[in-house]
Amino acid sequence: MLSSLTKKIGVKFKNKDLLKQAVTHRSYLNENRSYKLDHNERLEFLGDAVLELVVTEHLYNNYPNPEGDLTSWRAALVNGEMLADVAKQLGMEECLLMSKGEAKDTGRARHYLLANALEAVIGAIYLDQGYEVSKKFIMDNIVVNLDKVLESKSYMDPKSKFQEMAQEEEKVTPSYKVTKEWGLDHDKHFTVGVYLNNKLVAEGEGNSKQDAQREAAKNGLEAKGWLED
């Protein structure tokens, strides 16, 4: 499986253990005590910094926009959802080494795990091949999505985008209301509805009211058909 990933990444590793470590989740070590490599968190730490530098450098050198714009665009390129999608396209999901429990979770936790593994792969490329090779990988697989991000305005916070579209299309400002709340104080969960003219458009869940509002706005954009391809 790693040989297939190596081909898709387009990098011939001198130290193949670096790539193997990059796809090793902490939970795998708990069930495989004889495993000789470390988990991928240190590589992820390094890769995150390399990724941010490459994207920042590209935006700074190619766009005269103010800092606020560049920050939003960078956030859209390096967020967990984008990185998880890129990781899936590279076939990383089949290569992840994780516990049986982690392997069963295919929801948000898997997205988070994939995004972290991609950053770890970037860290591995950097250590094995240096800055220029890791920069090429990031440009070819992540920065290449910039035009799509700018065209779809996905760099906008979902709440901002939903409000903009609601005012543009229906001349109304959306409102949000908590429709459900549960859990202990240290582990609260909320369901929030987003409304137009007091009519429920969509709901979202989150560990805070703000997260639930963002999820509701995102689902609202989808429900109204306001998400550009």
- The yes-or-no answer on residue 181 being catalytic is no
Give the active site residue among 44, 48, 102, 128: 48
**How far, in whole angstroms, is CA 56 from its chain's centroid?**
17
Give the active site residue among 119, 128, 203, 215: 119
- The yes-or-no answer on residue 48 being catalytic is yes
194's CB contacts (< 8 A; 6+ apart) are: 162, 174, 175, 176, 200, 201, 202, 203, 204, 213, 216, 217, 219, 220
C-alpha dist (Å) from residue 75 to 11, 103, 157, 193, 213? 26, 28, 10, 26, 19
H/E run at residue 74: helix 67-78
Total H helices, total E strands in the chain: 12, 3
Catalytically annotated residues: 48, 119
